[in-house]
């Protein structure tokens, strides 16, 4: 692939996620102002793929990302990336901590550094900026009304900013999940540690409809790692389910589950099978391996061939 887009501007955690993709460092990287704009670039063919945050993001767009992928022309998630969430306080060289009276950053980053800020710059005023990357860039190329920015370390380093403090996040160990989205046609091969993402409109709002859908996975030994009911937007009370399931569409148990879901809810959207970022191999119940599926099929064919 040659051209990527990402939730910009440059220097966001999302760009950091993109740079983990082999070849992306050398490729063209086009920032987008939001998930919808990024996906539009992919759908139109202007970009080959888009990197977008889907969980725990410090820069917004999270819950809407999967909705945007699920709506409109079909797209596929082809990769998952995890990035640790860690912040630095950066400023132009020569600025020291004592002279910081206003700090620019994204609201979520500000919220996630309250403990450090209350202790170390308790009187600093907060200036909201649209992203942590933009906050850092403005220190170099603009004339912002703040002296320091809270951002990711790589951005500060690339811009030649001084690091006044590091690891200032309240929760060390937090991570953000991102996905790389492309047009259909590039289904990643099964690795044994994969995820499959689907959006499934709920056929009816009744006790049991949700269970009936989830049961299609459970009956076939497919574990779920994420489930979210989302309003369809048509009117309140109508829902679809956004689900990450352990496994790959090329595996028999997942294939059978997907076909069953299509029968129950024909508007189901398949959004991709792709390697898990943590490469953790799921435990597959012994009676749902591909080999056992093959054995059952041969037994069954034998019955019909009598």
Which 44-83 positions form the footprint of a copy of itself (CB under 8 A)?
55-56, 60, 62-64, 82
Nearer to a copy of itself, 95 or 292 (CB): 292
Tell which positions 265-304 bind a copy of itself, by CB under 8 A: 266, 270, 278, 280, 283, 285, 287-288, 292-293, 295-297, 299-300, 303-304
Quote the least distance from Cβ 159 to a copy of itself, whole Å: 20
- Return the residue of 20, 153, 210, 232 that touches a copy of itself, per CB under 8 A: 210
* DSSP symbols for 279-305: -PPPPPPGGGSHHHHHHHHHHHHHHHT
Nearer to a copy of itself, 72 or 231 (CB): 231
Sign of the dihedral through C-alpha 113, 119, 121, 125: positive
Q: Number of residues in contact with a copy of itself, rule: CB under 8 A?
A: 79
Quote the least distance from Cβ 174 to a copy of itself, whole Å: 7
* DSSP symbols for 21-74: STTTTTSEEEEESSHHHHHHHHHHTSSSEEEEEEES-SSS-HHHHHHHHHSSS-
Tell which positions 165-204 bind a copy of itself, by CB under 8 A: 171, 173-175, 184-185, 187
Report d(CA 57, CA 91) in Å as an integer: 23
Sign of the dihedral through C-alpha 193, 199, 204, 205: positive
> Which of helix, strand or coil describes residue 124?
coil
Nearer to a copy of itself, 67 or 164 (CB): 67
Tell which positions 123-142 bind a copy of itself, by CB under 8 A: 128-130
Site string for a copy of itself, 93-122 (x = CB under 8 A): --------------xx--x--x--------
Nearer to a copy of itself, 1 or 260 (CB): 260
Scanning 21-29, 92-100, 161-169, 219-227 for contacts with a copy of itself by CB under 8 A, the matching segment is 219-227
Quick one: residue 163, left, alpha or beta (phi over 0 = left, psi -120 to 50 = alpha)? beta
> Which of helix, strand or coil describes residue 218?
helix
Helix (H), strand (E) counts: the chain: 10, 14
Tell which positions 3-22 bind a copy of itself, by CB under 8 A: none
Scanning 16-24, 141-149, 155-163, 205-213 for contacts with a copy of itself by CB under 8 A, the matching segment is 205-213
- Return the residue of 23, 45, 94, 207 that touches a copy of itself, per CB under 8 A: 207
Contact status: 218 vs a copy of itself (CB under 8 A)? yes
Quote the least distance from Cβ 284 to a copy of itself, whole Å: 9
Tell me the sheet residues that pair with 105.
128
Quote the least distance from Cβ 253 to a copy of itself, whole Å: 9
Nearer to a copy of itself, 93 or 185 (CB): 185
Nearer to a copy of itself, 93 or 237 (CB): 237
Strand order from edge to edge, sheet including 175-182: 28-32, 3-7, 49-55, 175-182, 76-84
Quote the least distance from Cβ 266 to a copy of itself, whole Å: 7
């Amino acid at each position: 692939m040659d051209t990527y887009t990402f939730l910009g501007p440059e220097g966001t955690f999302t760009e950091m996620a993109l740079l983990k993709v082999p070849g992306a460092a050398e490729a063209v990287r086009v920032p987008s102002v939001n998930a919808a704009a990024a996906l539009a670039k992919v759908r139109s063919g202007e970009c080959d793929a888009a990197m977008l945050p889907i969980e725990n993001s410090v820069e917004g767009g999270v819950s809407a990302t999967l909705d945007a992928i699920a709506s409109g022309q079909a797209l596929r998630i082809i990769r998952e990336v995890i990035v640790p969430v860690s912040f630095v306080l950066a400023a132009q060289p020569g600025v020291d901590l004592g002279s910081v009276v206003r700090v620019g950053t994204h609201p979520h980053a500000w919220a996630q550094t309250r403990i450090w800020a209350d202790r170390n710059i308790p009187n600093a005023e907060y200036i909201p900026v649209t992203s942590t990357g933009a906050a850092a860039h403005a220190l170099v190329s603009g004339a912002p009304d703040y002296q320091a920015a809270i951002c990711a370390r790589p951005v500060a380093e690339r811009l030649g900013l001084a690091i006044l403090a590091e690891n200032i996040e309240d929760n060390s160990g937090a991570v953000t999940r991102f996905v790389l989205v492309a047009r259909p046609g590039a289904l990643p091969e099964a690795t044994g540690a994969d995820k499959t993402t689907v959006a499934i409109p709920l056929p009816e709002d009744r006790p049991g409809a949700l269970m009936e859908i989830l049961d299609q996975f459970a009956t076939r030994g497919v574990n779920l790692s994420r489930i979210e009911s989302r309003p369809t937007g048509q009117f309140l009370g109508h829902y679809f389910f956004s689900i990450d399931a352990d496994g790959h569409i090329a595996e028999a148990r997942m294939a059978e589950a997907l076909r069953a879901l299509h029968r129950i809810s024909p508007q189901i959207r398949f959004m991709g099978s792709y390697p898990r970022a943590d490469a953790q191999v799921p435990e597959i119940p012994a009676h749902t391996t591909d080999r056992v599926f093959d054995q059952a099929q041969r037994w069954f064919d034998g019955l019909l061939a009598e």
